[in-house]
Amino acid sequence: MSLYEKICNGEEKIALIGLGYVGMPIAVAFAKKAKVIGFDISKQKIGCYKNGIDPTEEVGNEIIMNTSVEFTSDDTRLKEAKFHIVAVPTPINSDKTPNLSPVEGASKIVGRNLTKGSIVVYESTVYPGVTEDICIPILEKESGLKCGRDFKVGYSPERINPGDKVHRLENITKIVSGVDQEALEEIALVYELVIAAGVHRVSNIKTAEAAKVVENSQRDINIAFMNELAMVFDRMNIDTQEVIQAMNTKWNALGFTPGLVGGHCIGIDPYYFIYQAEKLGYHSQIIAAGRKINDSIGGFIADATIKQLVLAGKAPKNSKIVILGLTFKENCPDTRNSKVKDIITKLKEYEISPIVVDPWVDPAVVKKEYNIDVITLDETENADCIILAVAHNEFKKLTWKKLNTMYKKNLGIKERILIDIKGLRNRKEVDALGYRYWRL
């Protein structure tokens, strides 16, 4: 009987290693079809899950409360499982090189609890070669077993989009790969239990690793192009959003817009490609240039804000700036690699400490990790300038009446500066009201 059949029959378990924005939805989905162990090294996170609290807000408290996933921070329980899915983050170091310590650490944990006949599948984004050149040797060393003979390995890149309630795990095609044909078929069958959109088999692990890095690098480059246009159009006094609206009337327009590019995927994955390419003697030109542009956009927005303050006759240093949004994307509590922080950092160079509002984050966590104080919308007042940085639903619904209560009461309408990074407001409407308005 195959491992897939044993999983279906409840004779063997699936283990998820890493219960964040990616691992948790996978664990919950598989728990509807099989026995699942959910492991994370964070006892605090496991405590939340056991109490029916979903800190990621990806699946919701009610689902967490009712799922059959066995949550644990005891790695020895991984011995009970035969199919392991590693879904830990793969960040970058301060010098933009890959930080593989989380995936290496996860490999050590899985390795020392690995049993014969197991399959280990990595979902963490890496550059081509990491699974076979780094992860498998760790698994073999820790377990004393031999890959291909005693256990199998595969790679299936995560494609979950945090905060996206439309493109979910189940309806996104899953790329799968394995060390050999037997592993590939077994892995494909297991994922087909929960992936309604089906799986796409590729011939080898490196191809699957490359596909993940490339799909995010492609998006990064396209956004970089729009960001470069925005910076140039700003000098030409041309409204970039109006140009995009006109361009998008053509059938083959790609629909990209300028903006902050952060998060744990698009703002990081291209560096994995750049790193490996340079190790092989090739200096990336297009991808590296795109990264340079996108990493500079926060500073550009901060400088544009300062310019608007000066044009309004205000002393920037004495002005109160309120930033609406801190997370890397809308309707999501994830602040990892948020480029809103770049705006804050740049403003602090002008000795300005902006006020931050974000209903999606835990203020205590943000204070501890980033030393940023977060207040509520109702506490916001006496602003000279408001920056709409993240398109949370709460900010989209803000009425002009509510916005006006957030500015200083003695400010004339033309002195009220509104910086709209996400293009949430209608330009004609804003101009008719008389605000000093700038958008990316």
Residue 144 and residue 226 in one domain: no
Positions annotated as catalytic residues are: 265
pLDDT in tens, 41-78: 999 999 999 999 988 878 889 999 999 999 999 999 99
Boundary (domain end) residue, out of 202, 232, 252 = 202
Asked if 233 and 161 sit in the same domain, the reply is no
| Dmax (CA) of the chain | 77
CA distances from 237 to 46, 229, 242, 311, 385 (A): 52, 12, 12, 15, 21
**Environment class of 112 (CB within 10 Å of its CB; exposed 0-12, middle 13-18, buried 19+):** middle
Burial of 121 (0-12, 13-18, 19+ CB in 10 A): buried
Confidence of residue 165 (pLDDT cuts 50, 70, 90): low
The reply to whether 93 and 17 lie within a common domain is: yes
Give the rounded percent of residues in the chain with a pLDDT score beyond 70: 98
The CA distance from 196 to 169, in Å, is: 9
Residues 278 and 383 in one domain: yes
Domain boundary among 160, 175, 202: 202
| pLDDT range class, residue 167, cuts 50, 70, 90 | low
- 209 domain-assigned: no
Q: Note whether residue 407 is domain-resident.
A: yes
Mean pLDDT in residue range 375-385: 93
Name the more confident of 68 and 412.
68
Question: How would you label 324-362 residue by residue, b for 16+ Cβ within 10 Å and e otherwise?
Answer: bbbbbbbbbbbbbbbbbbbbbebbeebebebbbbbebbe
pLDDT of 215 reads 92
- Same domain for 275 and 234: yes
Higher pLDDT, 152 or 365: 152
**Distance separating the N- and C-terminal Cα atoms of the chain:** 59
My answer on whether 238 and 384 are in the same domain is: yes
Residues 183 and 246 in one domain: no
User: What predicted TM-score, i.e. pTM, was given to this entire model?
Assistant: 0.91
Q: How confident is the model over 181-239, as pLDDT tens digits?
A: 999 999 999 999 999 999 999 999 999 999 999 999 999 999 999 999 999 999 999 99
Q: Does residue 170 sit in the same domain as residue 236?
A: no
Which of 34, 30, 80, 70 is CA-nearest to residue 50?
A: 70
Assess whether 128 and 52 both reside in one domain: yes
Do 231 and 324 lie in one domain? The reply is yes
**211 located within any domain:** no
Q: What is the pLDDT of residue 182?
A: 96
Q: 399 Cβ partners below 8 Å, 6+ apart?
A: none
Number of domains in the chain: 2
> What span, in angstroms and rounded, lies between the C-alpha atoms of 180 and 190?
16
Name the pairing type of β-strands 417-420 and 436-439. parallel
Q: Are residues 113 and 229 in the same domain?
A: no
Pull the structure tokens for residue 229: 């246009």
CATH number for the domain spanning 378: value is 3.40.50.720
Does the residue 208 lie in any domain? no
With respect to residue 341, please indicate whether it lies within any of the assigned structural domains.
Answer: yes
Same domain, 174 and 262: no
Structural domain contains residue 213: no
Residue 282 inside a domain? The answer is yes
* 290 domain-assigned: yes
Last residue of a domain, one of 137, 168, 202: 202
Domain that holds residue 190: 3-202
Residue pair 240/440 in contact by the 8 Å Cβ criterion: yes
